[in-house]
C-alpha cells in the first residue's frame, strides 16, 4: 500500500479516526441551533473579507481562480487545577493540572505533521501553557500572540467557588441563572451577550492579521463556544446548548467569507492520555 499524501495525513490528523463528529451530525447541530439570525455573525466581522486573497494558477488553456482558505483550530485549554476541583475559574489565572499538561501534549502529538502558520491564545496561563505544549509536541516553532478578548467569561463574585457551594449560598439566584440558560451576568460578572461581543472583537483581530493557512487558537469553554455562535450566526441562547471539553479540538474552515464546521469538540486523542 502506498504512503498517504500530505493532504491525507493532515485530514487524518484532524479527523482522529472513526470517532470525530460526522459532517451530518455537525450540519444537524447548526440547523437545530440557528433558529433566528444573530447580528454578530461572520458577515459583520471586520477583516473577514478585506484581506481575502485570490490567486490565479495558469493551466494549459485557462486561468483558474483559487480563493485562499483559513483553517481555524479552536482548542479549549487542558484540565486546570480548578477544573480538577470543580471550581468556577472565570478570569482567575489558574495553571494546568498534571493531567491537563498530558492532554495538551496528546493533542499536539495528534497534530504532528500539520504545519501551523500562526498561534493565538488567551493570556491566562492555562491557555498559553496549552498552546506551548501543543506547538512543541506537534513539531511547530512559532510565537504565541495573546488576545485578551479570548479570555474566559467573567463570573464575577462566583469565581473560585464550587457549584455545590453556590447551590447552598445563592440558592435562588443560582437557580434563576440556570433557568435563564446562563444568559444573565452573574453578580459583577459578564452576560453571554457581552461575552459574544468581546469574542467577536478578538476574532476580528485575528482575521485582520491572517487570511489563509492553519491557525491555532487556544481559549476556554466560554470563548470557544462564543466563537462558534459568532461565526455561525447562532442566537445567544445556543451558547448553553454547546459543550466544549478540556483539550478538545474544533476545526473550522473559512473560505470566501463563509465558515464551515468540520469537527466539533473532538477528543479522540485523549483516549490514552
49 carries an active-site annotation: no
What is the dihedral sign for C-alpha 106, 107, 109, 110? positive
**Rounded distance between C-alpha atoms, residue 117 and residue 140, angstroms:** 9
Give the other-Cβ count within 10 Å of 71's Cβ: 21
- The DSSP call for residue 44 is G
CA distance 177 to 183: 7
Query: Is 263 annotated as catalytic?
Result: no
Buried b (16+ CB within 10 A) or exposed e, 205-231: bbbeebbbebbbbbbbbbbbbbbbbbb
| Choice among 77, 181, 263, 269 that is catalytic | 77
**Residue 108: which of 78, 81, 84 has the closest Cα?**
78
Per annotation, catalytic residue among 37, 220, 263, 269: 220
Taking the C-alpha atoms of residue 191 and residue 236, their distance in angstroms, rounded to an integer, is 10
H helix intervals, the chain: 6-15, 23-33, 81-85, 98-110, 125-138, 163-169, 171-179, 192-209, 221-231
Catalytic residues: 77, 220
Amino acid at each position: 500500500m502506498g504512503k498517504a499524501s500530505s493532504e491525507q495525513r493532515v485530514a487524518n490528523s484532524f479527523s482522529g479516526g472513526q470517532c470525530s463528529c460526522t459532517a451530518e451530525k455537525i450540519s444537524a447541530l447548526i440547523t437545530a441551533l440557528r433558529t433566528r439570525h444573530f447580528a454578530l455573525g461572520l458577515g459583520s466581522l471586520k477583516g473577514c473579507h478585506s484581506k481575502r486573497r485570490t490567486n490565479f494558477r495558469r493551466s494549459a488553456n485557462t486561468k483558474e481562480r483559487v480563493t485562499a482558505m483559513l483553517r481555524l483550530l479552536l482548542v479549549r485549554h487542558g484540565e486546570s487545577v480548578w477544573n480538577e476541583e470543580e471550581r468556577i475559574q472565570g478570569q482567575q489565572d489558574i495553571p494546568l493540572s498534571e493531567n491537563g499538561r498530558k492532554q495538551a501534549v496528546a493533542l499536539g502529538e495528534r497534530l504532528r505533521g500539520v504545519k501551523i502558520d500562526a498561534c493565538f491564545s488567551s493570556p491566562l496561563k492555562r491557555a498559553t501553557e496549552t498552546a506551548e505544549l501543543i506547538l512543541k509536541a506537534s513539531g511547530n516553532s512559532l510565537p504565541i500572540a495573546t488576545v485578551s478578548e479570548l479570555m474566559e467569561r467573567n463570573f464575577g463574585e462566583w469565581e473560585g467557588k464550587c457549584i455545590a457551594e453556590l447551590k447552598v449560598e445563592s440558592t435562588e439566584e443560582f437557580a434563576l441563572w440556570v433557568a435563564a440558560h446562563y444568559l444573565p451576568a452573574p453578580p459583577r460578572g459578564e452576560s453571554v451577550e457581552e461575552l459574544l461581543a468581546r469574542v467577536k472583537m478578538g476574532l476580528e483581530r485575528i482575521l485582520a492579521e491572517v487570511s489563509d493557512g492553519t491557525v491555532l487558537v487556544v481559549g476556554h469553554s466560554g470563548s470557544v463556544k462564543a466563537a462558534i455562535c459568532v461565526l455561525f450566526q447562532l442566537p445567544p441562547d445556543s451558547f448553553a446548548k454547546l459543550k466544549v471539553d478540556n483539550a478538545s479540538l474544533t476545526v473550522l474552515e473559512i473560505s470566501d467569507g463563509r465558515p464551515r464546521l468540520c469537527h466539533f469538540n473532538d477528543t479522540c486523542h485523549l483516549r490514552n492520555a
